[in-house]
A and B are shown apart, each in its own frame.
Chain A
Amino acid sequence: MTSKLKPETLAKADEIIALYPERRSATLPLLHLAQEDHGWICHEIIEWVAEKVGTTPMEVLGVATFYPMFHRQPIGKRHIRVCRTLSCALRGAYHTMEALEKEFGIQRGETAADGSVSLEFVECIASCGTGPVVHVDHELHEEITPERVKELADNIRATLSDPEYGKKEFVPGTAAWKG
């Protein structure tokens, strides 16, 4: 048991485990589930997953650190990930990153002091024809050239005080739908 997760999350975990022929296969799904609830993977969650899937905390820690999507410490309220791989870079991704760094006053790899945003370079996220692409949490923003950074940054800042953020229905064709 863990006090870090909501009762719904715990119930969902049992449903997920029941799907798989072997429960250890639920390791990644449970880590995703826990991260969506708690924001990051703390040690208590590692122990909880290990107990649930029938392995050791060491094995789960190994998994959580192997996959770049899992955070081992808290991150900003909004997670901005800029693709830096070749197709996006050819369209200006490094210049986009520089503009974002200026906009938020932080460097790549950092979280703003007020905890509002984290900024990161990531590798190809399979939208190479519409680069440079930027993931804001799970929204995919396409063709974010340096000129469009201001607009994106303003939108991100506006969501910080939006209580409905992340709760909206997905609408086909929108950034959230594509992520």
Chain B
Amino acid sequence: MSAQERRIIYAHIGQPGYTTDIDCYLRHGGYETLKKAFAMPPQAVCDEVKTSGLRGRGGAGFPTGVKWSFLDRKSGKPVYLVVNADESEPGTYKDRQIIYNDPHQIVEGTLITAYAIQAKQAFIYIRGEFQHGAKLLEKAIAEAKAHHFCGNNILGSDYSVEIIVHRGGGCYVCGEETGLIESLEGKRGYPRIKPPYFPAVLGLYNCPTIVNNAETMAQVKHIIAMGGAEFAKIGVPGDRGTHIWGVSGLVKRPGLYEIEAGKATFGQLLYDFCGGPLDGRTFKAIIPGGSSTKILKFGDRFKGKLPSGEEFDWALEDIPLDANSIMACGTGLGTGGTIVLDDSVEMIQALANLNAFYAHETCGQCTPCREGSLWLSRITKRIAAGGGREEDVPMLKDIADQVAGRTICAHGEAVAWPVQSAVPKFREEYLESVRRRNKGEPSPYALKLI
């Protein structure tokens, strides 16, 4: 059976004639869900989201309703909502489409969430490079205000909230929620130590804060529109709703495909949706959910037990596209940004490319992350440039092992995981790259990645 898209979040994206102004949005039923939410007590809105089983779309997949329930209400301090539109994980470009083509969807979801958690103020932290995206969101907010969907006494209620669009400065680690909060406070984006700085307790201005991804906001809108129980029928146990798979790299049709959780496989995604490999090429590996997730190699078998107790034995192509199945294969669904590598790719160069990214983006607070990312980058670059030694290859893994789990924020894992997963899988090819250069043999790879 061939898999199909199920467009909920992207229902209107790419539709001819669909525009970003509020009139178009209203014609398509926009802000009706906001009205529905405002007719409910705030806690009931939170309960619907909990019932839905939605997991956040920012990469970590934390259950959204559960996160909201962690808010420290006892302190009496104001609550803040921060929408994470930093979209900085390499391979990820799904939020961009919503921001640029359907900004009101994010604004409506943000307003519903702000009401549900009774936020005093909401922010949309958007990556600095989305200059026009920030303008589109600001315009959408102004239009929403003019219609009394935002601002003072929304829809005649006694709830008021403003949304500030805040542009970042081109820094990956400001996508990490506590780095983002520091950045929003006007500081360098140094992630904070947890504990004590769990955002739901000590977040923005040391007040309880919810940080949620931009797509998560859009998902919330649809949960309230259809009801939590109805939403919980979409997808599979443990992973509800749809995922937007953003495929990039070496496939015939890179692009964004919204698929019901668990209702297609990587094989269907890469062959049916993306048209398979480029002519004359064969697939070699994928990085399934943004550059920080562990790499999967074609030809490997994936065996184990699912949380349901069911045993599985899959080829890469058989892995179902839901969080639990992918996690059972030793990696993560992450942001759904799948990067595809084929036989034209020299794996040591691909690794050097990613290592250079993490070395550039480390904030430098933690020694293992700062030094580790730099060493990994230098060593892989050196191998690619022809100065490698065979002992470099196991050393890469040793260094990565000393970074993961020893840092303030998950950037440490992001540094380590690509190396920890790729070295065992591509050791022979890496060694071959070292030896070939040492012997001065010509490279069979024309594609330059570093």
Contact = CB atoms under 8 A, between A and B. Distances in A.
B167 A32 contact: yes
A94 interface: yes
A27 B186 CA distance: 5
A172 B168 CA distance: 23
A135 B130 CA distance: 11
B337 interface: yes
Given A55-B186, A87-B91, A95-B448, A128 B337 contact: yes
A86 B350 contact: yes
Given A20-B164, A87-B249, A90-B447, A63 B91 contact: no
Interface stretch (A3-11, A102-110, A118-126): A118-126
A94 B357 contact: no
Contacts of A124: 88-92, 172, 291, 357
Interface string B174-212: 000000000111111100000000000000010000000
Contacts of B449: 86, 89-90, 94
Interface string B335-349: 001011100010000
A25 interface: yes
B128 interface: yes
Contact of A85 (B95, B135, B353): B353
B228 to A, nearest CB: 30
Contacts of B131: 138, 179
Interface stretch (B51-59, B250-258, B393-401, B423-431): B250-258
Interface of B: 19-20, 87-93, 95-96, 100, 121, 127-132, 135, 162, 164, 166-172, 183-189, 205, 246-250, 254-256, 287, 291, 337, 339-341, 345, 350, 353-354, 356-357, 360-361, 363, 447-450
A62 B188 CA distance: 7
B249 A86 contact: yes
Given A62-B188, A86-B249, A178-B100, A129 B254 contact: yes
Interface of A: 19-22, 24-29, 31-32, 53, 55, 59, 62-63, 66-70, 84-87, 89-92, 94-95, 122-131, 135, 138, 170, 172, 176-179
B248 A129 contact: yes
A129 B169 contact: no
A161 B92 CA distance: 36
Nearest to A24: B186
21 contacts: A24-B187, A66-B363, A69-B170, A70-B169, A85-B354, A86-B287, A86-B291, A86-B357, A90-B250, A90-B345, A90-B350, A92-B447, A123-B172, A124-B357, A126-B87, A126-B92, A126-B129, A127-B96, A128-B249, A129-B246, A129-B254
A29 B166 CA distance: 7
A85 B128 contact: no
A20 B337 CA distance: 33
B249 A68 contact: no
Contacts of B249: 86-87, 90-91, 128
